[in-house]
């Protein structure tokens, strides 16, 4: 247990942490999550893509259509996390790089822990927004529909619209990044100088 905190990362572990940092930064440039609405008159689909700091896609049109069922307008200002997520991920990447440099296990644990907690929180918030938008419908709306919560990954049918949801490339990069940290801490540590040298011996033979 003590080793868990005081140990040091070996070279592979450090590389994995660096890779993780790169993936985290890369994730900022790709959508984390997407929703695509397809209907007979929209065969090309109406996409909404969530990035770390913005919402892309044809939001105007989705909002225009959503008003029929009394759904609140989706606008970037209403999502406080969009203002912070870039910083959060950047900080995490910075910590990962720092871990790779200092090789301290405790720092790695802190980073991976923060990352995991952040990921869990993110997934919860996504569910929360989906639930909120799908269930808090204006009772005065022209079209009455039963409240619904679209799945985070999957399809959902509402009137003439089929909704496809899922994580985007950015989301996967983020997830893999955190997984790599965990993996590194799990397998690529060296307990002391001795085991470190014994581990490196065979490679030189």
Partner 1 sequence: MEKRSFSKIVLALAGLLVGLVLAVFITGRVNPSASQEGASFNFSASNTGVADEVVEAALKTYVPPGKLDEYYLFASGGHSGNVFVYGVPSMRRIRTIPVFTKESSVGYGWTAETKEMLGNFTWGDVHHPALSETNGEYDGRWLFVNDNANSRVARIDLDSFTTKQILGPIPNIYGPHGAVFLTPNSEYFMMASRFAGPIPFGKYAPIEKFKDEYYCVLAAIAIDPENGNMSLAWEALLPPWSYDLSDAGKLVSDGWMFLTSYNTEEAYTLLEVNASQRERDYIVAMNWKMLEKAVQEGKYKEIGGAKVIDPRDVPGSTYLIPCAKSPHGVDVSPDGKYIIGNGKLSPTVTVFSFEKFMECIENKDFQGEERGFPIVNYDKVRVAEVEVGLGPLHTQFDDQGYAYTSLFVESAVAKWSLTDFKVVDKVQVHYCPGHLCAAEGDTVSPDGKYLVALNKLAKDKFLSVGPSHPESMQLVDLTSPKMKVLFDNPVDPEPHYAQMIKADKIKTFEVYPKDEQLEGAVYKKEDARVERNGNRVNVYMMSYRSRYYPDVVEVNEGDHVTWYLTNTDFDEDITHGFAICLYDINFEVQPGQTEKIEFVADKPGVYPFYCTNFCSALHQEMQGFLIVKPKDQQ
Q: According to the binding rule CB under 8 A, does residue 145 interact with partner 1?
A: no
Give CA–CA dist 184/109, Å, rounded: 10
Give CA–CA dist 144/126, Å, rounded: 24
Q: According to the binding rule CB under 8 A, does residue 132 interact with partner 1?
A: no
Q: Which of 4, 61, 101, 153 binds partner 1 (CB under 8 A)?
A: 61
Q: According to the binding rule CB under 8 A, does residue 91 interact with partner 1?
A: no
When the beta carbons of 45 and 118 are compared against partner 1, the nearer one is: 45
Q: Apex CA 187: angle with CA 182 and CA 191, to 5°?
A: 115
Q: Which of 97, 174, 180, 185 binds partner 1 (CB under 8 A)?
A: 180
Q: Which of 18, 23, 35, 93 binds partner 1 (CB under 8 A)?
A: 23
Count of beta carbons in the 10 Å neighbourhood of residue 73: 13
Burial class (CB in 10 A: 0-12, 13-18, 19+), 30: middle
Q: According to the binding rule CB under 8 A, does residue 188 interact with partner 1?
A: yes
Please identify which residue in the block is written with the tokens 């203002």: 83
Residues that bind partner 1 (CB under 8 A): 12, 15-16, 19, 23, 30, 58, 60-61, 64-65, 68, 142, 168-169, 172-173, 176, 180, 183, 187-188, 199, 202-203
């Amino acid at each position: 247990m003590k080793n868990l905190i005081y140990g040091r990362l070996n070279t592979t572990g450090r590389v994995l942490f660096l890779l993780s940092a790169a993936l985290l930064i890369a994730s900022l440039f790709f959508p984390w999550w997407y929703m695509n609405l397809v209907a007979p008159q929209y065969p090309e689909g109406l996409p909404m893509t969530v990035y770390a700091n913005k919402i892309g896609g044809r939001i105007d049109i989705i909002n225009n259509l959503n008003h029929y069922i009394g759904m609140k307008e989706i606008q970037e200002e209403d999502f406080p996390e969009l203002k912070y997520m870039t910083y959060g991920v950047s900080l995490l990447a910075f910590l990962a790089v720092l871990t790779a440099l200092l090789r301290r296990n405790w720092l790695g644990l802190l980073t991976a822990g923060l990352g995991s907690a952040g990921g869990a929180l993110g997934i919860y918030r996504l569910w929360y927004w989906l639930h909120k938008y799908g269930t808090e419908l204006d009772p005065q709306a022209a079209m009455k529909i039963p409240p619904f919560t679209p799945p985070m990954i999957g399809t959902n049918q509402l009137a003439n619209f089929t909704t496809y949801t899922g994580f985007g490339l950015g989301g996967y990069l983020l997830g893999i990044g955190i997984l790599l940290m965990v993996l590194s801490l799990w397998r690529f540590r060296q307990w002391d100088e001795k085991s470190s040298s014994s581990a490196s011996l065979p490679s030189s033979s």
